[in-house]
Structure 1
Amino acid sequence: MFVTFRILRTARALGLLWVMAMSIGNSDALGNGPHQPAIAFSQSLAVGSATLQIDFSDGPLDLPRSEIVQRIQTAAQAVATYYGRFPAPRTRILVIPVAGQHGVLQGTTWGNRSGFSAFLRLRIGQSTTREELASDWVITHELVHTALPSLPDDQHWLEEGIASYVEPIARVQAGQLSATRIWADMMQGMPNGEPEPHDRGLDVTHTWGRTYWGGAMFCLMADVEIRKQTGNRRGLQDALRAIVAAGGSIDKEWPLPHVLDIGDQATGTHVLEQMYARWSVTPVPVDLPQLWTQLGVRSTTHGVTFDASAPLAAIRDAITTHLPPKSL
């Protein structure tokens, strides 16, 4: 599963990174076989009942490896907060230093590799600063990918949409981001997910904007609709937690109707099934300005502010409120 960067960078840069990511082959990706990189350092972390094995391939890093391990642990804790547990029982993370570069450059996630439920490859620049590492979202995005069964290529947008939508919410629930920050990002980024002329639905139109932001917009609208239908007692988080609780991590390959059915049963609705039936084959535009008004999200010269009197203000607040797990 390939990563792009959020709209905090320009849409042009995002498009270029999409092309770059799609061109990266898998021949040396998994850290095994004839091109297996030399492992210079390895450490295991426990996140609840799950184990994360972090391997660093040989290469220069200006930051101590311990700080990168800590950042991975922070990201894993955010994912565990959102899902009520860390989704994959055994996860391997291969960190590949990239000489002369800054930041977390690229991440890819696979399921069921060499005895691990999930395998992540992270390319991290040698010259990455503490500030760049602290502000990174790529690691959390990739770890969210562990929380959904692998889907066919036509539904790749749902994998990326969930990861793009859940990642910042998980970080807010874990106390790592402010709610105003992520709503500002959504206001800026969601227009990239709107259907364009000749769009034929998310299962058919596999552009960067529709795959990432279109998938995230599907998740936002599903979250809002579930909360409307349940009096704000249930949301998309309940659906996604139920999928994980049923064993639906990345090492499984389940048909999408089964995945959606588990989520809908958890919320007592048919929102996911009904929305997928429409959005998958039909270009569904969203009146985003109206949605922000209903949610009480306002963009001002000083940033985003919240309107507590808006019709869906309680839903906006509930989306980013930590939901205690029923069991770990």
Structure 2
Amino acid sequence: MTQAFAGERILHAGSGRLEIVVNGIDDPAREAMLQQWAEEAAKTLLTASDRFPLPRVRAVVRETDSRDPSPVPWGQTLRRDGVAVLLYVRPDATLEQLRDDWTAVHEFSHLMHPYLGREGRWMAEGLASYYQNVLRARAGLMSPDEAWRRLDAGFGRGLGAPAGRPLSSAKGRGATMRIYWAGAAYWLHADLALRERGSSLDTVLSAYARCCLSDRSESTPLGFAQALDRIDGHGMFVRLYRKYAAATAFPDLAAAYRALGLSGNGTTLRFSQGDAAARLRTTIMRAR
């Protein structure tokens, strides 16, 4: 359900409430457009669950002048005094350009996990990087094939980053792509393992949100993996966590790509038409 007021929209799903506020816009038509865009991005979360992950979240949209040509030069999720999603957009960004940008869905995806600290940055940014593509495909903001291509491109950027410190302590500008995309590979591997057993990452994270997530939730990354294992009951999240956290290079995705029927040469991604692989790709990119 959506309620609209001047400069504000309030979305309800299950017991979750998400407020969208557009600040500093004098043009009512543009204000309404930015509210519509933010609402569309927020509602992509409902393709993974029947409720918003947190009881109450405030999303604030502001315009900003920036030399960054992106429609959304900056976004951030804050966890002080409740949770807030901040989205800064260019004054000339159109609705079409905003819909094609990944930033808003990435930031809303951060609502699906507790605060994980610096050591867990790779898990947090990885989860948001994985879901920024999956949720947008499910919501019809891009095609499923395009979502796989964008994931593949992200993995390519991570693979191209230099090896270095273990992922749990990696830092610096040179490590950013490895942090984000090795983290995304962690969640892809987890999702594939769950789906082999008839479950999914959506199912486990939705259960975690119901039992354990609040606007002040904090966890160590290992503690988060342990909590997910208590829900799933197979110990998979911790096993993957130990492997990934200690890794100094980008993970091997060959087995995952075989299961998904994906192959490529670094510039072109090819899709096999084998029944099992095609069905798996379709299922991941389909709303729960």
TM-score bin (small chain): 0.7 to 0.9
> Which amino acid is 2:24 matched to?
D
Of residues 112, 118, 124, the one that matches 2:83 is: 118
Mapped partners of 1:152, 1:317: distance in 2: 34
Mapped partners of 2:149, 2:161: distance in 1: 23
User: Are the counterparts in 1 of residues 9 and 35 from structure 2 also a CA contact under 8 Å?
Assistant: no
User: Are the counterparts in 2 of residues 193 and 215 from structure 1 also a CA contact under 8 Å?
Assistant: no
Mapped partners of 1:307, 1:249: distance in 2: 41
* 1:277 and 2:245 are equivalent in the alignment: no
Give secondary structure in 2 for the equivalent of 1:83. Answer: coil
Structure with higher helix content: 2
Matches of residues 174-185 of structure 1 in structure 2 within 5 Å? 174-185=139-150
Give secondary structure in 2 for the equivalent of 1:246. Answer: helix
- Measured against aligned partners, the alpha-carbon deviations of 1:244-286 in whole angstroms (never above 9, x if no partner) come to 1113245311333432223223333211101111211233543
The match for 1:161 is: 126
In structure 2, the CA distance between the partners of 1:288 and 1:257, relative to structure 1 (3 Å rule), is closer
Mapped partners of 1:274, 1:288: distance in 2: 16
Of residues 205, 210, 225, the one that matches 1:245 is: 210
Mapped partners of 2:59, 2:161: distance in 1: 37
The match for 1:227 is: 195
* 1:53 and 2:15 are equivalent in the alignment: no
Matches of residues 141-156 of structure 1 in structure 2 within 5 Å? 141-156=106-121
> Which amino acid is 1:149 matched to?
P
User: Are the counterparts in 1 of residues 164 and 249 from structure 2 also a CA contact under 8 Å?
Assistant: no
- Measured against aligned partners, the alpha-carbon deviations of 1:85-130 in whole angstroms (never above 9, x if no partner) come to 11122222222211477611110111242xxx31122111111122
Identity %, equivalent residues: 25
User: Are the counterparts in 2 of residues 106 and 138 from structure 1 also a CA contact under 8 Å?
Assistant: yes
In structure 2, the CA distance between the partners of 1:164 and 1:226, relative to structure 1 (3 Å rule), is same
Mapped partners of 2:160, 2:123: distance in 1: 15
Q: Which sections of structure 2, spanning at least 5 residues, go unmatched?
A: 1-5
* 1:296 and 2:254 are equivalent in the alignment: no
Shift, 1:72, TM fit:
0.9
- Measured against aligned partners, the alpha-carbon deviations of 1:196-251 in whole angstroms (never above 9, x if no partner) come to 665232102132012211111111122222333x1xx0122222212211132453
Matches of residues 71-220 of structure 1 in structure 2 within 5 Å? 71-99=37-65, 103-113=71-81, 117-194=82-159, 199-206=164-171, 207-220=175-188
- Measured against aligned partners, the alpha-carbon deviations of 1:13-56 in whole angstroms (never above 9, x if no partner) come to xxxxxxxxxxxxxxxxxxxxxxxxxxxx6313223143333333
In structure 2, the CA distance between the partners of 1:124 and 1:277, relative to structure 1 (3 Å rule), is same
Moved more, 91-100 or 120-129: 91-100
User: Are the counterparts in 1 of residues 182 and 250 from structure 2 also a CA contact under 8 Å?
Assistant: no
Give secondary structure in 2 for the equivalent of 1:150. Answer: coil
Give secondary structure in 2 for the equivalent of 1:87. Answer: coil
Give secondary structure in 2 for the equivalent of 1:308. Answer: coil
Aligned residues between the structures: 276
User: Are the counterparts in 1 of residues 77 and 83 from structure 2 also a CA contact under 8 Å?
Assistant: yes
Mapped partners of 1:216, 1:284: distance in 2: 14
Mapped partners of 2:25, 2:33: distance in 1: 16
- Measured against aligned partners, the alpha-carbon deviations of 1:125-162 in whole angstroms (never above 9, x if no partner) come to 11112221221221111111112110121111111100
User: Are the counterparts in 1 of residues 20 and 39 from structure 2 also a CA contact under 8 Å?
Assistant: no
* 1:322 and 2:257 are equivalent in the alignment: no
The match for 2:3 is: none
Cα RMSD after superposing both structures: 2.7
Q: TM-score, normalised by structure 1?
A: 0.75
